[in-house]
Amino acid sequence: MESDAVESEEADEEVVELTATARGVTADTITLGVAITDVTVFADVGDILARYQPLVDATNAAGGINGRQVEIITEQWDILDSVAFEAACVALTEDNEVFLVLGFMPAGWGSIFCYTDINETIVINTSDLDQQDLDMSDGRLITTRPYQFGSLLAGLELLRPELEGARVVIYGATPDGRIETTEELLRSFGAEILEVTRQQIGGEDLIAAEAEIDIHVERWRTRNPDWIINVDGAVAGSLQGLVRAGLTDWNIVTPANDAPSNNAMGADLSVFSNLIATGEPGAEELAAQGLYGIPECFEVINAATGQGLGTSGKAEDAQAGTAIEVCAAWDVFVALATAAGPNLTPESFLQAGYDLGSFPMTGSPSGSLLPDKPWVSNAQPALFVYDTELDAFVPR
């Protein structure tokens, strides 16, 4: 009887024979794509590839994903070159047939539909998402970031006492309804909407974009608002325009609480009297507090690269923030791919995420994924102000 029980246990523990289950998944390997965005025109974020590879090596050294080793293929594209964005997509999805793609793909800078729609490839994005991108992705687009626009709305609610009866200008570029939603919320506070201004010229033509914002700013000067509410990534241009015009005493709300997103066009943030950011705790604050797996993330990358993440004080946010995003994206892949089991497919990967509940994710209290929640981070929104000495946003 005892022998029979032992044989039964051995049968239950029989190792599943791995086979090829999907594009990019063989019996032995899982091949991922990493889309590396060259943003040096805006900020020095360091060597992105050098941060992914140590995470791959650590995962493989620990046995891989359910017995499969992980390989990555990288493609780089310039953030100002939409043609290069498409070429990187084709190279990763069609030429190399990767299982999924990780990377920083800002909404509006290239057609992410090349990945999610045309080539039916899951993207783990480390940038904020447009609703339009989500609507057309058939569930294949997820992000490590909290919902930036949701954080903005929550932040405006926190500012309600100061916005009641205020004279407000709303500025943004997005066509996905964020501007209209913001306007509706502010009107419910009793704010007087002086103007809703839409950016028409994108970052691909910086000279024309600067000229456009200068025209807007001069018109705002004549209206003399109490508040400028920026709803999306166009904030970098508006801040630079306000600096050029010398209009830095107004109350300004930005939806991004990291310095690089706000000074990407060269704005000196220290000249603003009341620059308020909505969002979640930034990279510098979390790193300083040693929270949410960030020290461990830095330790793995520093040991392999000598980059010294987390060892300097001021102006490290672009480097540290990008490293945290890389670790977060990797955490999402590992958690969902592991939970999907040996039969790894795009469908089983996403379903595993929906079924998994909360899981650890670098830079956030936890992560979770649902069909109607592609923003994996579970961080809670708050208000922040710019600290000149730290060159960073700190809790208000």
Structural domains of the chain, ranges and CATH numbers in brackets:
9-146+287-367 (3.40.50.2300), 149-279 (3.40.50.2300)
The larger pLDDT score, comparing residue 115 to residue 280, is at 115
Helix 317-340 crosses helix 294-305 at what angle (to 10 degrees)?
Answer: 100
Q: What is the mean pLDDT of the chain?
A: 86
Token pair belonging to 21: 């289950």
Contact by Cβ (8 Å): 133, 189? no
User: CA-CA distance, 279 to 153, in Å (whole number)?
Assistant: 10
Q: Confidence band (pLDDT; 50, 70, 90) for 260?
A: low
**Kindly report the CA angle at 43 between 361 and 96, in degrees rounded to 5?**
60
For 328-370, how does the pLDDT look when each residue is reduced to its tens digit (9 = 90+)?
999 999 999 999 999 999 999 999 999 999 999 998 889 999 9
Task: Report the range of poorest mean pLDDT among 109-113, 142-146, 311-315.
Answer: 311-315
Sequence-ordered list of residues with C-beta below 8 angstroms from that of 38, at least 6 positions apart, any chain: 76, 77, 78, 79
The shares of helix, strand and coil residues in the chain, as percent rounded to the nearest 5, are 40, 20, 35
> What's CA 366's distance to the chain center, in Å?
15
Would you say residue 88 has pLDDT above 90? Answer: yes
- Predicted confidence at residue 6, as pLDDT, reads 47
β-bridge pairing 29-38 and 100-103: parallel
The yes-or-no verdict on residue 139 having pLDDT over 80 is yes
Q: Give the predicted TM-score (pTM) of the model.
A: 0.77
| Rounded Cα distance, 129 and 146, in Å | 9
Q: Which residue has the higher pLDDT, 166 or 129?
A: 166
pLDDT tens for each residue of 263-295 = 767 788 899 999 999 987 766 566 667 778 888
What one-letter code names the amino acid at 365? P
pLDDT given for residue 261 in this prediction: 73
